[in-house]
Amino acid sequence: MVKLVGTRKQEMLFPTLLFIGDSISLIFAALLVYAIRFASGLFPTPLGVPALSVYLAATAVSAVVILAVFYQLGHYRGQRVSGLKLDIERIGRGLGIGYALQLSFLFFYRGFSFSRSYVGIVILATFVLLLVARKLHDRMRARGYERGKGILPIALLGRSAMTESVWRLFSENPGYGYKPIGIIEEGDAQPHQGRAFAAVACGGASQLRTKAEAIADEIPVLGASADLEQIVFENELDTVVLTLPFERYGRFVAVTGQLSSLNVKTLLVPDLVGLLTSRLYHFDYEGLPFLAFRHVPLSGLSRVLKRSIDLIVAGLGLLLASPLLLGIMLAILLLDGRPIFYSQERLGRDGRRFHIRKFRSMRVDAELGGAGWTSKNDGRRTRLGGLLRRSSMDELPQLWNVLVGEMSLVGPRPERPEYVEAFAKAIPRYFERHRVRSGITGWAQVNGHRGDTPIEERTRFDLFYVENWSLATDLKILWLTVRAVLKQDNAY
């Protein structure tokens, strides 16, 4: 007879407390609003104070409906990841559905007319109280986890490029309620044999995986998956996270089946580096699920909106800054001579070549010894060049590149063709940053990665921007750029 393991009673502790907290919040919000609206004297009651019993009955029905909606939306399934943004989205969606159902019923029900102001205020009050209750629940849950209440033992199975990241995630975030205890080698492999899989799947990403493997070597080894049942019982595992390398996914069905028979929850972390994918995007055609590995949020109407903003801002910028531009041109001519502008070939969206324009801030012979990034106290700068570069005014002519469609206000900074060729060979997914227009400023730059900072770090920030683009992100980057220019951070 197979013994079932897991701490299911402890696992239901905090979802139960969450349900109780939501129930109290729903009832208290309705009673509080009733007292303020009808009994405080702050609002007129020309028809008299309505019967409390009617509103109590309505409150009870409303609470049941909303709690049922929350249940259907999975609020009480023991989810261990939370946050203010997630709570706002989940509560807002649940209340929207719940109150929509109730208001639809009241539209046809004529037996009693509820105060419209009461309904409006109670919806707002309920949202606020539920949000406060969720945050108090999160704090209480975090303290409970720190004391060992509800903590679930978790183990990893298999070695891939994601192993180190998953181990570090659970080790450094005890607030998730999991205690990582070790790794199970896939198959009948002895400790450390699984690392060969990562090396094979790695390809061009070998340098990126070397550090991850070194840290993963320090994870305690519980044994091999050939002895999975024994390992599960001895360590009383509740959850096993599969971190199999991509070429070993054929073992997925067998392993998950065995874990399911042991009543152990199974999580899968895809070997994204092995798959060489960017952020996954899921959709379906006629009910068939698909995963897209090259999803770009900046498409369709979003691209039209971004381009429209580029045209408006670049056009107005060139017009309003024309006196300043003429002054800089005259100053360069008088102090440093010709040429006034510096033009250089760069690679933009989809690998298209164009010439970027800047005010010349370096000596004419600055690149006789070969191309290179500027550094702090660079001796190649002209007399006026230091001021132009510190204030980023040397970049102003790029507004013309934006106006003609070669660049955008915000996006990954364009590099020289020879640099792009070298980086694409050395850095996995580097060329994916060219799926959008290059920018005057970008997410990497406002996070301090400009000039001679490591290209690996800049690429990581650029890819994050490409995969998570939004208008709000662009506005945030523009604001941070203005702030950085005023502070003259990393500008030389």
- Read off the CATH number of the domain in which 216 is found: 3.40.50.1980
The answer to whether residue 137 is domain-embedded is: yes
Give yes or no for a contact between 357 and 400, defined as CB atoms under 8 angstroms apart. yes
What confidence tier does 295 reach under pLDDT thresholds 50, 70, 90? low
Q: How many CA atoms lie within 13 A of 389 on its CB side?
A: 21
Helix ranges (H only) for 249-375 are 252-261, 272-275, 301-320, 322-335
What's residue 209's pLDDT? 44
The answer to whether residue 1 is domain-embedded is: no
Tokens of 106: 């009241």
Torsion angles phi and psi, residue 18, rounded to 5: -65, -45
Task: Extract the runs of DSSP E, i.e. beta strands, from 30-171.
Answer: 152-157
Model confidence, pTM: 0.51
Closest by CA to 446, choosing from 385, 392, 383, 384, is 392
**CB contact burial 343-372 (16+ within 10 A = b; e otherwise):** eeebbbbeeeebebbbbbbbeeebeeeeee
* Domain termination residue (choose one: 276, 292, 313): 276
Give yes or no for a contact between 361 and 342, defined as CB atoms under 8 angstroms apart. yes
What's residue 81's pLDDT? 65
Which position has the higher pLDDT, 295 or 53?
53
What's residue 91's pLDDT? 93
What's residue 188's pLDDT? 60
Residues 130 and 203 reside in one and the same domain: no
Residues 365 and 479 reside in one and the same domain: yes
**CB contact burial 402-415 (16+ within 10 A = b; e otherwise):** bbeebbbbbbbbbb
Q: Is the pLDDT of residue 380 over 80?
A: no
What's residue 138's pLDDT? 85
| CA separation for the pair 173, 80 (Å, rounded) | 11
Residues 342 and 480 reside in one and the same domain: yes
**449 — alpha (psi -120 to 50), left (phi > 0) or beta?**
beta
Residues 269 and 141 reside in one and the same domain: no
Residues 171-210 pLDDT 10s: 887 777 788 999 998 866 554 443 333 333 333 334 444 4
The answer to whether residue 492 is domain-embedded is: no
Torsion angles phi and psi, residue 397, rounded to 5: -60, -15
Mean pLDDT of 108-121: 77
| CA separation for the pair 78, 36 (Å, rounded) | 35
What's residue 252's pLDDT? 78
What's residue 407's pLDDT? 94
Residues 441-470 pLDDT 10s: 999 888 887 766 778 788 888 888 888 888
What's residue 200's pLDDT? 34
The answer to whether residue 478 is domain-embedded is: yes
What confidence tier does 434 reach under pLDDT thresholds 50, 70, 90? confident
Give yes or no for a contact between 295 and 185, defined as CB atoms under 8 angstroms apart. no
Mean pLDDT of 221-230: 88
* Locus of tokens 């629940």: 137
* Domain termination residue (choose one: 129, 146, 163): 146
Give yes or no for a contact between 404 and 438, defined as CB atoms under 8 angstroms apart. no
Residues 318 and 446 reside in one and the same domain: yes
Torsion angles phi and psi, residue 159, rounded to 5: -120, 130
* Domain termination residue (choose one: 131, 146, 161): 146
Residues 233 and 314 reside in one and the same domain: no
What's residue 112's pLDDT? 66
How many structural domains are present in the chain? 3
The segment with the largest mean pLDDT, out of 16-30, 65-79, 226-240, is 16-30
Residues 328 and 436 reside in one and the same domain: yes
The segment with the largest mean pLDDT, out of 131-140, 166-175, 250-259, 419-428, is 131-140
What's residue 431's pLDDT? 83
The answer to whether residue 231 is domain-embedded is: yes
The answer to whether residue 337 is domain-embedded is: yes
The torsion defined by the Cα of 127, 131, 137 and 139, in degrees rounded to 10, comes to -170
In this predicted structure, which of 49-53, 320-324, 382-386, 485-489 has the lowest mean pLDDT?
A: 485-489
Tokens of 430: 């580097």
What confidence tier does 336 reach under pLDDT thresholds 50, 70, 90? confident
CB atoms within 10 A of CB 327: 11
Mean pLDDT of 211-238: 79
Residues 310 and 411 reside in one and the same domain: yes
The one-letter code for the residue type at 255 is V
| CA separation for the pair 377, 36 (Å, rounded) | 66
The answer to whether residue 289 is domain-embedded is: no
CB atoms within 10 A of CB 246: 19
Residues 233 and 358 reside in one and the same domain: no
Mean per-residue pLDDT of the chain: 80
What's residue 401's pLDDT? 93
Q: Is the pLDDT of residue 475 over 80?
A: yes
Residues 348 and 481 reside in one and the same domain: yes
How far apart, in Å, do the first and last CA atoms of the chain sit? Answer: 71
Residues 203 and 316 reside in one and the same domain: no
Give yes or no for a contact between 245 and 271, defined as CB atoms under 8 angstroms apart. yes
Q: Which residues are within 8 A (CB) of 66 and not within 5 positions of it... i.e. 6 or more apart? A: 22, 26, 94, 95, 98, 99, 126
The answer to whether residue 440 is domain-embedded is: yes
Q: Give the domain extent around 222.
A: 152-276
Residues 325 and 473 reside in one and the same domain: yes
The one-letter code for the residue type at 167 is W
Give yes or no for a contact between 244 and 271, defined as CB atoms under 8 angstroms apart. yes
* Locus of tokens 């206000």: 409
What confidence tier does 9 reach under pLDDT thresholds 50, 70, 90? low
What's residue 282's pLDDT? 65
Mean pLDDT of 43-50: 77
Closest by CA to 157, choosing from 8, 262, 81, is 262
The gap from C-alpha 188 to its chain's centroid, in whole angstroms, comes to 37
Q: Is the pLDDT of residue 375 over 70?
A: no
Which position has the higher pLDDT, 302 or 72?
72
- Give 35: exposed, middle or buried? Use CB within 10 Å, 0-12, 13-18, 19+: exposed
Q: Which residues are within 8 A (CB) of 431 and not within 5 positions of it... i.e. 6 or more apart? A: 351, 420, 424
